[in-house]
Chains A and B, each alone.
Chain A
Amino acid sequence: MLEAIILTIITAATPLLLAATGELVVEKSGVLNLGVEGMMVMGAVAGFAVTISTGSPLLGIVGGAVAGMLVSLIFAFVTLTLVANQVASGLALTLFGLGLSGLMGESFVGQPGLKLQSLDVPGLTDLPFVGKILFGQDILVYLSFAAVFGVSWFLNRTRAGLILRAVGDNHTSAHALGYSVVGVRYLAVAFGGAMAGLGGAYLSVAYTPLWVENMTAGRGWIALALVVFASWIPWRAAVGAYLFGAVTVLQFHAQAFGVGFPSQFLAMLPYLATVVVLVAISGNRRATLFNTPSSLGKSFVPDR
């Protein structure tokens, strides 16, 4: 039973983790992209469409990442080149993504999809208990963890990561030092778009191999909350995503087990847990402020 629960939690947490890791990098560069939901749903429809057309779920997830990246570039153009308000543009991106994905996906409604296979390691996957959990996952699950470690290493241990953080903390100084603020932010937004697209593709190719309009059902917003929850530290985003996934799945088990709680209360638990942790974290103001990108959400116009 425990093994089954853990397996379900992994699938529930992976799309959140992928999207949150991407958004974390975007916000570290000082850009607030509220369009995660729109990018995810575009990734979901493109992932499904490519999978169906080519017969390859692997190409499908690549297609999802590309689609997420493409729509994120619209956002980047509007907010970085045209210097529009980031909050309004991000919300517009969500609406745009939901509408466009519905239009694109019309002919795919009601078609069964193909499921991304797990990468089984002969011998290891058959180990009792840990086998399926550690060695029987699909490539996106491993990728989500690789992304957490990769982003963590990039932000803290590389020069490029330092530049990205500098841009996010004080874009005027970074510009004065000769770094291309807009260039760095374009790359960060594109990375965030690709990761959100992967998260969306995970939904339509691995989690539930089907396409229906609006299938992300709010997961983009949860990913956004997770970034704040993680106070912009990658491993905490992973903890947050798994905590959220765990509470979601466990409340279903509690219901099926006949725990006499109202289901609405149980459904509320994941969100309640998020709020509680946010409050706990914000108690330590210095640590929180230390990690918060100071230029978050502020537009930047180079003064030549």
Chain B
Amino acid sequence: MKKLALLAGTALALAIGAVSGAAAADKLKACWVYTGPIGDFGYSYQHDQGRLAVEKELGDKVETAYVENVAEGPDAERVFERFAREGCGIVFGTSFGFMDPELKVAKKFPDVKFEHATGYKSAPNMGLYNARFYEGRYILGQIAAKESKKGLAGYIVSFPIPEVVMGINAFMLGAQSINPDFKIKIVWVNSWFDPGKEADAAKALFDQGADIIVQHTDSTAAIQVAEERGLKGFGQSSDMIKFAPKAQMTAIVDDWGPHYIKSVKAVLDGTWKAEDVWEGIKDGTVHMADYTNMSDETKKLAEETEAKIVGGWNPFTGPIFDQDGKERYADGVVAPDGDLLGMNWYVKGVDDKLPQ
């Protein structure tokens, strides 16, 4: 049984990933905790690209470390505590589910700086950061409405959390600004990550008449189906143009680099303080991949909308009605951030019942 234990131990060590050694005294050590594998080419991959950007930008002033595949729960608390004890100057928790364990450790180590992505609990030494992906989704909606011949897009989604619902609503608002009768078919795959199911869902949606696919799941499977069928779609989290050179019209790319560089620099300069930042296209956290495979007119429209958003316009500006036709925001009223972060209703025109 000894050999077996050794085997299992090796497997676990491989699955958990590597943590680098102790920090040199004069360097700032910046540490990341990821929920998925950095090899997912999606959410955790993009956070790790941000870490690499910090290394590149700040060179030998910093040392970085990360742990991947950290389960949300008690395991996460051990990882945060270990990082705090190992001399990390700043620790980034990159997933919603790390919120409570990270906060607990932050209170225990007041001298270590913490930042948590996509959550809402903070402390004097724990700041928050998030990205306004919905800005990109509004642009996708406009492009889809312009380019779809059938006025019908297929939308693949994972779980009914506010982030996802916000994305669907922003997409629909964008599409309706071009074609008020635009329709979407929504398929829930109940998984963030299952390439096979994502491909099956994409095929089902295309078979039912959609000619554009939108996804809020992480793999490239759906856009590859679009490529095969000669139809169109959008990339998610990463620029997926290599997987679908003829099908990808653009992609919402998460670029955490600018924020991480800013935060780590602030720690180096001694100016860091716990903030609540929610950045979007303007700050470079949300980045639109090149607009291709669409008419020049659509491209121009997309660029104009992007410029408008950079200029400070919010896609969630009234009048906005919900599914029942009730007015949620009057003409000219901008939805407050708190409402967006807790969004649990569909805008008018979404033909789906929100799973509760």
Taking Cβ atoms with an 8 Å cutoff, the residues of A that contact B are: 1, 4-5, 8, 11-12, 15, 74, 78, 82, 84-85, 88-89, 91-92, 95-100, 102-103, 105-106, 109-112, 115, 203, 207-210, 212-215, 217-219, 248-249, 252-253, 255-258, 260, 262-264, 267
Contacts and interface: CB of A to CB of B under 8 A. Distances in A.
B199 interface: yes
B3 interface: yes
Contacts of A252: 187, 189, 200-201, 204-205
Contacts of B194: 217-218
Interface in B201-229: 201, 203-205, 207-208, 210, 219-221, 224, 228
A255 B185 CA distance: 8
A208 B3 contact: no
Contacts of A203: 195-196
B208 A253 contact: yes
A1 B203 CA distance: 11
Contact of A210 (B3, B188, B243): B243
B207 A214 contact: no
B86 interface: no
B193 interface: yes
B332 interface: no
Interface string B146-172: 000000001000000000000000000
23 contacts: A5-B207, A8-B203, A85-B4, A89-B7, A92-B8, A102-B14, A106-B39, A112-B224, A208-B198, A209-B224, A210-B195, A210-B243, A212-B193, A212-B195, A213-B39, A214-B193, A217-B196, A249-B200, A252-B204, A253-B208, A256-B187, A258-B351, A267-B188
Name A's interface SS: helix
A99 B200 contact: no
Nearest to B13: A99
Contact of A109 (B12, B39, B210, B355): B39
Interface in B284-311: none
A210 B220 contact: yes
A211 to B, nearest CB: 8
Q: How large is the interface on B (under 10, 10 to 19, 20 to 34, 35 or more residues)?
A: 35 or more
Nearest to B203: A8
Contacts of A105: 39
Contact of A92 (B4, B41, B154, B197): B4
B10 interface: yes
Contacts of B1: 84-85
A264 to B, nearest CB: 6
Contacts of A95: 8, 11-12, 15
Given A1-B207, A92-B7, A256-B154, A213 B190 contact: no
Contact of A263 (B199, B205, B242, B355): B355
Contact of A255 (B40, B188, B196): B188
Contacts of B207: 1, 4-5, 8, 253
A78 B1 CA distance: 9
